Amino acid sequence: MADAGSHDEPGGRGRLVVADRVVERIATIAAREVPGVTPAGSALGRAVGRRYPKADAQVAGDRVRITVEVAVAWPASLVDVTAGVRDIVRSRLGELAGLQVDTVDVIAAKVVHEDAPTRGRVQ
């Protein structure tokens, strides 16, 4: 009969591997929580991967480096929005995936005027 306590030890429970795509998805959802981040992208843009927010992650073990691109609603402060995205992405990846975040690079790839027509924008 196996020792019942062996499953309580970290080495006896196995490992958790988090795929890059999962990390990217967590980051894009987290970025949307930041005031001033607005979803944007045309139908063609979605087809070629140019919708915002979007993320690109490199995961190595329990460490991650990630780049997040966002569209910012005018007249929000780029400094405040990018800092907010950086903080929430780092926090959510730690909480939800148990990852140590080495780097979060945030790119304000597009500025969107909120009074602009919504044709072509992702809602």
pLDDT tens by residue, 5-32:
555 666 666 666 778 899 999 999 999 9
> What percentage of the chain carries pLDDT values higher than 70?
72
Q: What is the pLDDT of residues 34-58, one digit of tens each?
A: 999 998 876 555 555 578 999 999 9
Give the phi and the psi of residue 93 in degrees, each rounded to 5.
-65, -35
Write down the pLDDT at residue 48: 58
| Block residue for tokens 């607005």 | 38
Write down the pLDDT at residue 63: 94
What letter does residue 110 receive in the DSSP assignment? E
Helices (H) and strands (E) in the chain, counts: 3, 4
- Rounded to whole angstroms, the Cα distance separating 73 from 76 reads 6
DSSP H helical ranges for 1-123: 20-31, 43-47, 78-97
Q: Residue 80: is its pLDDT beyond 70?
A: yes
Write down the pLDDT at residue 28: 97
What would the two tokens of residue 31 be? Answer: 């970025």
Q: How many CB atoms lie within 10 A of CB 94?
A: 13
| Mean pLDDT computed over 61-70 | 95
CA distances to 27, 37, 49, 108 from 68, rounded to whole Å, are: 7, 11, 13, 9
| Mean pLDDT computed over 85-105 | 96
Write down the pLDDT at residue 40: 85
Mean pLDDT of the residues in the chain: 84
